[in-house]
């Protein structure tokens, strides 16, 4: 093939004819070691108003990922058309290599390869170019990877132990593979205390399963204990990700550890207790478990400290892996950190920017008595006859000390107003101050929901630690296929761990001062469920809890600086209580006296909507503002846009370019007006031009003598195309398939219209170009 022919080939042809054969010839297995067109990140979801779309401009997509084994990437290759130089794609490849943390990046245009080596030998150049025939073999790139990652020969067998393959072709996401591989590498290196930090919704349990599975298959860990602190977490794990363990797995129950199993799921409450006879973990030897995985290892409350400590210290010879979404940052300091620095960290902010986690919008609502305060008249008594303390009550008191029934009613009505305006059946969690508040909120929602609550009594349920009926509905609430319950009122039970994938609305009517609690609550909504059209979630905040988003600790790089001595608890304690928050309100003891007052009126004094911006900060911006900003990124002036629009043979190309930013013009039309075409939407939104409807533009063309140069049949086709434009828009008339529809079918087939009526494809396309010029002509005058 000569160079001129080669330059006419598409990128896909270059890959198929030159790059793939060269890789295969070097010894790479096409079925197991070469992954093509790999989506590393899907691109963040943009949310403005009730509209959402992906910003595909930020999608990370590698042409090739080469792997030693499934889940163990060692190199990336970026391909380009032959019109580009060999190294043109190197910067792109290096970006992907950084994401995957691999030492080898390559670029190719089909003439040869450009190579970047992050682990060069002495006197070896970092960047080189070579012929297609000289691509490195799998063993060469594997040795480079081992050097880059610090893996020696004795560790290799464990490091390449295969992942579990469920037969569906599912591959771990890049950060999951990196987390799994790093843990395995550290264990191969002899480490026994490891911490993994992954934001809620990023697949911690799947990641944990693959770690345990690989260590178990390699016989590095023959007996494994997975410790959780809530029953629902153990049951979810048993039913979902850990299912492949089958008959070798059991859940510890009836206060007995059956030695005939290999993988054990256990609540720490089932393993220990205050009395010596409760400590059933001591019925097996200290060497019984080779690996202990502690889920939510940040959650060490004062009551739980001794339980965690006892279990971990008893099995101190085992490898211990802590999992958390929110590691503690405390001032406790000593000589040795229990888990040491995290082996790997994947934050909520990174997950949202990559597009794996759902972004959020925040509706902040201020109620007059919360903000301005309320002082009862001297001697006033509440509904139960108790005299109220004569002082100012404010937001911190609401539903903890002072219960204003009209306030509860107002919150419930505002929640239902939002649900009715969007989707009254979207899964919703309302976080309340305590069980009493959760029950009153349930009643208020029933009344505000009206017919919705009559149609099904489980429309709203109180799901709290003391409610057998509520807890029985927990599985239905988290099941995406189950319509009811729609709304759950709670205080603590749903703050952590419960996998409510389709939760779209989180309501905060709860004072939250703990960053850990806040992160866990936000984590209830962060899962994207495309199948159920869930791309973002809304936080409705009545108690200023979302002020914590402004705290630099909200999503800073989490570190563990708790360093206990040998005699200290290995689990980092909670921060000292501020006195404003009770994190265990699911167990009301009735000690706090509450005042219940019916007659005091309340009202909303302010409301604003904020969105998460590109930098992770909260911004106030509409979908319209977002679109304007990004249209101006593509076209800096109206003249530039008009020139490119008229010069473009297919206007669809410009529309697709804007869609890459997450700008979907049909969604903009919902906001501006559905009768406006793409051209006018862009001109109006970005450049403040007065818009014309599609029908007005079509009629303006019909008024001119523009059609006189065409014959009767051609004129009939063009007038019908104008009508199609007025009804459907520009992309419809640019597609030749439109000629199959009425009224064109009465004139002839598409081939007959193009050839016989217009004299061939070139002349038909020229007629369409001229028609489009006439449609947008006044914009140039």
Backbone dihedral region for residue 485 (phi beyond 0: left; psi -120 to 50: alpha; all else: beta): beta
Report the Cα 454 to chain-centroid distance in Å. 35
pTM: 0.74
Q: How is 167-211 classified by DSSP, letter by letter?
A: SS-----HHHHHHHHHHHHHHHTT--EEEEEE-TTS-HHHHHHHH
Q: Which of 99-113, 295-309, 381-395, 537-551 has the highest mean pLDDT?
A: 99-113
Query: In the predicted model, is pLDDT for residue 488 greater than 80?
Result: yes
pLDDT > 70: percent of the chain: 86
pLDDT of residue 673: 85
Model confidence pLDDT, tens digit, residues 13-30: 999 999 999 999 999 999
Query: In the predicted model, is pLDDT for residue 416 greater than 70?
Result: yes
pLDDT of residue 552: 63
Q: Which of 215-224, 387-396, 591-600, 747-756 has the highest mean pLDDT?
A: 215-224
Mean pLDDT, all residues of the chain: 83
pLDDT of residue 648: 84
Give, in degrees to the nearest 5, the angle at Cα 37 between 54 and 41.
35
pLDDT of residue 49: 64
Identify the helix (H) or strand (E) that includes residue 292. strand 291-294
Give, in degrees to the nearest 5, the angle at Cα 74 between 92 and 324.
90
Query: In the predicted model, is pLDDT for residue 236 greater than 70?
Result: no
What's the rounded Cα separation, in Å, for the pair 668 and 676? 10
Top-confidence residue, 616 or 318? 318
Model confidence pLDDT, tens digit, residues 128-153: 999 999 999 999 999 999 999 999 99
Top-confidence residue, 402 or 570? 402
Mean pLDDT of 761-767: 89
- What is residue 507's three-state secondary structure? strand
Confidence of residue 310 (pLDDT cuts 50, 70, 90): confident
pLDDT of residue 551: 67
Q: Which of 263-277, 447-461, 508-522, 763-777 has the highest mean pLDDT?
A: 447-461
pLDDT of residue 333: 27
Top-confidence residue, 286 or 707? 286
End-to-end CA distance of the chain: 49
For CA atoms 757, 763, 765, 766, give the dihedral sign: negative
Give me 731's structure tokens. Answer: 């992309």
What are 110-114's contacts with CB under 8 Å, separation 24+? 110/6, 110/9, 110/14, 110/17, 110/18, 110/19, 110/79, 110/82, 111/18, 111/82, 111/86, 112/86, 113/22, 113/77, 113/86, 114/86, 114/87, 114/90
What's the rounded Cα separation, in Å, for the pair 67 and 432? 49
For CA atoms 621, 625, 626, 630, give the dihedral sign: negative
Model confidence pLDDT, tens digit, residues 320-355: 998 887 655 443 322 235 567 788 999 888 888 898
What's the rounded Cα separation, in Å, for the pair 550 and 541? 14
Q: Which of 207-221, 483-497, 674-688 has the highest mean pLDDT?
A: 207-221
Confidence of residue 634 (pLDDT cuts 50, 70, 90): confident
Query: In the predicted model, is pLDDT for residue 366 greater than 80?
Result: yes
Beta bridge partners of 461: 488
Alpha-carbon distances, residue 95 vs 76, 101, 180, 352 (angstroms):
10, 10, 21, 18
Confidence of residue 424 (pLDDT cuts 50, 70, 90): very high
pLDDT of residue 498: 60
Mean pLDDT of 483-490: 92
**For 453, phi and psi rounded to 5 degrees?**
-75, -25
Give, in degrees to the nearest 5, the angle at Cα 575 between 573 and 576.
110
Top-confidence residue, 679 or 46? 679
What's the rounded Cα separation, in Å, for the pair 289 and 261? 11
Which range (472-486, 619-633, 646-660) has the least confidence? 619-633
pLDDT of residue 239: 67
Mean pLDDT of 468-495: 83
Model confidence pLDDT, tens digit, residues 158-211: 999 999 988 887 889 999 999 999 999 999 999 998 888 888 888 888 899 999
Model confidence pLDDT, tens digit, residues 578-624: 333 333 334 444 456 788 888 898 888 877 777 776 666 766 666 78
Query: Do 225 and 292 contact (CB within 8 A), yes or no?
Result: yes
Model confidence pLDDT, tens digit, residues 686-735: 988 888 999 999 998 888 877 788 888 888 999 899 999 899 888 888 88
**For 738, phi and psi rounded to 5 degrees?**
-60, -25
Mean pLDDT of 730-751: 87
pLDDT > 90: percent of the chain: 37
pLDDT of residue 235: 67
What's the rounded Cα separation, in Å, for the pair 384 and 372? 25
Query: In the predicted model, is pLDDT for residue 283 greater than 50?
Result: yes
């Amino acid at each position: 093939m000569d160079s001129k022919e080669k330059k006419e080939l598409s990128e896909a042809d270059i890959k198929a004819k030159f790059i793939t054969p060269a890789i295969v010839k070097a010894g790479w297995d096409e079925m197991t070691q070469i992954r093509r067109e790999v989506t590393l990140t899907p691109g963040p979801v943009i949310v403005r108003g009730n509209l959402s779309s992906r910003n595909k401009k930020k999608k990370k997509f590698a042409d090739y990922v080469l792997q030693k084994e499934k889940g163990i990437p060692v190199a990336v290759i970026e391909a380009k058309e032959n019109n580009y130089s060999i190294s043109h794609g190197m910067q792109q490849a290096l970006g992907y290599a950084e994401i995957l943390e691999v030492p080898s990046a390559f670029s190719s245009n089909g003439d040869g390869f450009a190579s970047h080596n992050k682990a060069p030998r002495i006197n070896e150049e970092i960047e080189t170019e070579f012929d297609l025939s000289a691509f490195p073999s799998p063993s060469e790139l594997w040795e480079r990877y081992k050097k880059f990652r610090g893996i020696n020969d004795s560790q290799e067998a464990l490091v390449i132990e295969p992942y579990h393959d469920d037969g569906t072709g599912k591959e771990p996401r890049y950060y999951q593979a990196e987390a799994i591989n790093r843990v395995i590498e550290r264990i191969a290196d002899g480490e026994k205390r490891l911490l993994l930090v992954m934001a809620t919704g990023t697949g911690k349990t799947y990641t944990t399963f693959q770690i345990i599975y690989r260590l178990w298959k390699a016989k590095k860990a023959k007996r494994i204990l997975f410790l959780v602190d809530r029953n629902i977490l153990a049951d979810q794990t048993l039913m979902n990700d850990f299912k492949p363990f089958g008959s070798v797995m059991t859940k510890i129950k009836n206060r007995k550890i059956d030695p005939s199993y290999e993988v054990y799921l256990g609540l720490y409450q089932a393993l220990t207790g205050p009395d010596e006879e409760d400590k059933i973990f001591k019925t097996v030897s200290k060497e019984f478990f080779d690996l202990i995985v502690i889920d939510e290892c940040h959650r060490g409350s004062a009551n739980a400290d001794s339980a965690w400590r006892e279990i971990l210290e008893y099995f101190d010879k085992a490898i211990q892996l802590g999992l958390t979404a929110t590691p503690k940052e405390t001032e406790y300091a000593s000589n040795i950190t229990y888990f040491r620095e995290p082996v790997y960290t994947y934050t909520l902010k990174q997950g949202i920017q990559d597009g794996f986690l759902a972004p959020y919008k925040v509706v902040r609502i201020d109620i007059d008595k919360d903000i301005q305060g309320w002082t009862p008249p001297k001697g006033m008594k509440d509904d139960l006859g108790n005299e109220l303390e004569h002082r100012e009550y404010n937001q911190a008191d609401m539903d903890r000390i002072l219960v204003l029934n009209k306030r509860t009613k107002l919150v419930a009505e505002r929640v239902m107003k939002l649900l009715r305006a969007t989707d009254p059946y979207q899964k919703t969690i309302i976080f309340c101050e305590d069980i009493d508040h959760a029950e009153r909120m349930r009643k208020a929602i029933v009344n505000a929901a009206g017919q919705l609550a009559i149609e099904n009594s489980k429309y709203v349920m109180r799901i709290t630690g003391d409610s057998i009926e509520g807890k029985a509905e927990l599985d239905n609430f988290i099941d995406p296929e189950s319509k009811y319950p729609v709304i759950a009122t709670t205080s603590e039970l749903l703050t952590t761990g419960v996998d409510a994938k389709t939760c779209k609305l989180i309501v905060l009517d709860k004072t939250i001062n703990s960053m850990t609690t806040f992160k866990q609550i936000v984590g209830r909504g962060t899962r994207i469920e495309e199948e159920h059209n869930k791309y973002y979630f809304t936080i409705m905040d009545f108690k200023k809890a979302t002020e914590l988003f402004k705290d630099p600790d909200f999503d800073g790089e989490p570190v563990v600086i708790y360093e206990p001595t040998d005699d200290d608890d290995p689990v980092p304690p909670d921060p000292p209580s501020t006195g404003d928050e009770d994190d265990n309100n699911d167990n009301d003891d009735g000690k706090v006296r509450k005042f219940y007052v019916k007659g005091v009126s309340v009202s909303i004094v302010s409301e604003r909507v904020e969105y998460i911006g590109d930098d992770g900060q909260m911004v106030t911006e509409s979908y319209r503002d977002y679109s304007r900003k990004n249209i101006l990124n593509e076209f800096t002036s109206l003249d530039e846009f008009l020139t490119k629009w008229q010069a473009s043979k297919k206007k669809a190309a410009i529309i697709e370019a804007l869609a890459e930013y997450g700008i979907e013009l049909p969604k903009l039309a919902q906001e501006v007006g559905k009768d406006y075409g793409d051209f006018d939407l862009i001109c109006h939104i970005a450049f403040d031009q007065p818009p014309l409807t599609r029908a007005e533009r079509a009629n303006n063309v019909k008024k001119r003598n523009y059609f006189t140069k065409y014959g009767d049949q051609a004129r009939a086709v063009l007038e019908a195309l104008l009508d199609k434009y007025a009804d459907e828009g520009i992309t419809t008339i640019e597609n030749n398939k439109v000629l199959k529809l009425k009224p064109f079918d009465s004139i002839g087939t598409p081939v007959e219209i193009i050839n016989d009526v217009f004299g061939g494809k070139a002349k038909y396309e020229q007629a369409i170009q001229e028609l489009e010029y006439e449609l947008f002509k006044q914009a140039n005058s």
